[in-house]
A and B are shown apart, each in its own frame.
Chain A
């Protein structure tokens, strides 16, 4: 199955259409015009914005490390297709089985898609504004993006096996701009797994990524990201989900790596019956900071969103969660839930929670909750009285705490695979 189409490894985007090149030029001007974020901006409250000075980073050089060693132990057993990007260049492409390709599924690089599906790209490429504070970084991404994935799932296609994409980084102070655009056409069904991995667990680096999920009426899209950047990595990841009538979006982020990770996720329910599940599991260690900002935007009646973010905090870590449920005027019969739970495992850890609501329609059901606590002595005692030592007991409790999120995924095989990934981190 492993074949690499040479055309895909050319220096990307030299063949991009004119409109795209103009877009990039404009984006660079926007990036330069906008100041860096400051903490007094409510969207960056509590954030360690000092991490966002980008002077020291360089464009990622040629990837010289062993990519296969990085991907093999993380790979999903039988993906529907796989792309591996190393330092923003295509390293390998395992293509679809011919039946999928024949049915009209497009799974390719951004560069290839810009050439062959320019109209689709022009309509959907970064069509949603970055609303949660990172517009400067969205502009930077737009200006410098090279490596990316485009997935189009045609009407009525139901693909069981997930698509899988790797973004690997190697080299001191390397900067990458991973991009993903998935469009699930009417009544289609697809799952997508994206990995972000540093080769060297201590090397500095910067990633500024965007993933846009477009759900057409009746479609189901499950997107999972596993972030394993190095302990000295700074990243900004901007997600935008747009859910049309009766579509179901599931977005699960597993956050393990990075020194400072900013994660912005927006779900917009734009028509009746749309549903979005926003899930995240964060295991923080050392001096890591995870800065998560979310928006559940209900624009039409009869829409649903459900958010569950769980953070396990070790050592001297900090987490920030700021979430907003917004029910626009007239979006009646909205069901919106938001829950963040922090498990503090160390005396030096700090959890900041800002769960927010803005409700402009009256016939709604909205609740949110935020809790911060620690392993209860009773729970620990119970396990110890059964012969489990202190450390193992704490790990067991943390595992149970986090697995609840993954268990929400509809596919058992996928959630088992992800549970193994979490356990490897604990």
Chain B
């Protein structure tokens, strides 16, 4: 076992440790049809999926890197040195006792079993390519809620899984969604039956342990008519010197009147490229809300989207990005209005520290002959140091009368007056800065579950300590 901790940055490094494991299943280095055959064979998947994956591989190979609008940073990814599938070969366990010791320790150090006991309705823990633990509280399962790994769901519930799989985000959506479609493994599958309101959140925890590894989980959540569900995901990886790739695809389907809330707190280590495609489909009067918090990674490119397909559907993205020194958080949101009286709201707040760069990229689309569609977008950026950078690149298309959109963005720094005011009341400069930054994001943080908002505040405090002076 090896771990490094930095005396100041202790919590930022909470995930910075790994175990030397030799996985029983290893697809080797690089990507080819052979890699796919390996994955399909060890997972015992049906032939249609082999074809689906191989087709996706060709799409991935044929698509260029999106460097014409994204930066050149993507060129640092070497797809030939990445390992695409690593697993122990055992199925997910129902109790922590059965999980192999070192993997169990990993999640204990991250506090997962403890949180499960306290406030979660179900937990899934993924270690590299596969879920190692998956459990749902009996009371919730008895209501007919399905919560399992996508590998399991493919085998046990192909009827529902296949119906929606790849429908919200098609293979060819972008280069990284096609990569995911080719080599996906793990991720969660949730089905909530009509009218069922899951009271407590379901949680998944994604952990990368191995070096030079790519994690490609695939999550599919279906909330049937009038149901409600909240899903939370957390992610960490140890700090390696080489690049690690995380490229998930998350599809949400909110059937009429359903509500899905999807909360992400991403705290990847600074060697991770986090390139994720997330999209929800909201039918009549349904609601999809993404709460997205990006703290770690070297480069994150993630634009949670909602396709508002039914009348009076509602979409919301709440986004917080903290770009520390050397990080680039390229985040945003997309709202595709496709029915009358649909409304969407995007609130994005970013903080850039040191040489950190926070980018907001957004898309709002209101096509012809819709009535009563409304979008509101607010982007606020806070710059902490002279070398910090922020960008805003929204694109808004509105056709016809009867709809309205508004976009506003502002960039500011913490005012010297505020800091002076707090300092003359006895706070140190770092404390004052932390307080000001926490104030900046406070209205959004309050929408997070308690545990996460406390954690986020602590992370901000720690980041600020190193940035003053």
Contact = CB atoms under 8 A, between A and B. Distances in A.
A123 to B, nearest CB: 34
Contact of A356 (B392, B399, B408): B392
Interface stretch (B7-15, B378-386, B425-433, B456-464): B378-386
B407 A348 contact: no
A10 interface: no
Nearest to B393: A356
Given A355-B409, A362-B385, A368 B400 contact: no
A375 B402 CA distance: 9
Interface residues of A, number: 41
Contact of A354 (B68, B395, B408): B395
A358 interface: yes
Nearest to A373: B404
Contacts of B391: 356-359
B406 interface: yes
A383 B398 CA distance: 26
Q: What is the predominant secondary structure among interface residues of chain B facing chain A?
A: strand
Nearest to B399: A350
B368 A369 contact: no
Given A40-B68, A359-B391, A360-B389, A371 B409 contact: no
B409 A352 contact: no
B411 A366 contact: yes
A371 B394 contact: no
B410 interface: yes
A405 to B, nearest CB: 19
Contact of A372 (B385, B387, B395, B396): B396
Given A46-B397, A346-B401, A362 B413 contact: yes
B210 to A, nearest CB: 36
Contacts of B388: 362
Nearest to A345: B401
A370 B392 contact: no
Given A353-B395, A353-B396, A359-B391, A364 B413 contact: yes
A352 B396 contact: yes
Q: Which of A45, A351, A362, A373 has the most CB of B within 10 A?
A: A362
Q: In which size bucket is the chain B interface?
A: 35 or more
Contact of A329 (B369, B387, B400, B413): B387
Nearest to A361: B386
A59 to B, nearest CB: 35
Nearest to A357: B392
A60 to B, nearest CB: 36
Contact of B399 (A41, A349, A360, A370): A349
A32 interface: no
B399 A359 contact: no
Contacts of A368: 392, 407-409
A370 B387 contact: no
B150 interface: no
B369 A347 contact: yes
A372 B392 contact: no
B285 interface: no
B397 A351 contact: yes
A45 B66 CA distance: 14
Nearest to A338: B409
Given A354-B394, A355-B394, A371 B401 contact: no
A357 B390 contact: yes
A42 interface: yes
A367 B410 contact: yes
Contacts of A362: 383-386, 388, 413
B241 interface: no
B106 interface: no
Interface in A359-395: 359-375
Contacts of A114: none
B261 interface: no
B103 to A, nearest CB: 43
B20 interface: no
Contacts of A365: 411-412
10 contacts: A329-B386, A329-B387, A347-B368, A350-B399, A355-B407, A355-B409, A356-B393, A363-B386, A367-B408, A368-B407
Given A355-B409, A370-B396, A372-B404, 12 more contacts: A45-B395, A344-B399, A351-B396, A354-B396, A355-B392, A357-B392, A357-B411, A362-B383, A364-B383, A370-B405, A372-B366, A372-B398
Interface of B: 68-69, 366, 368-369, 381, 383-413
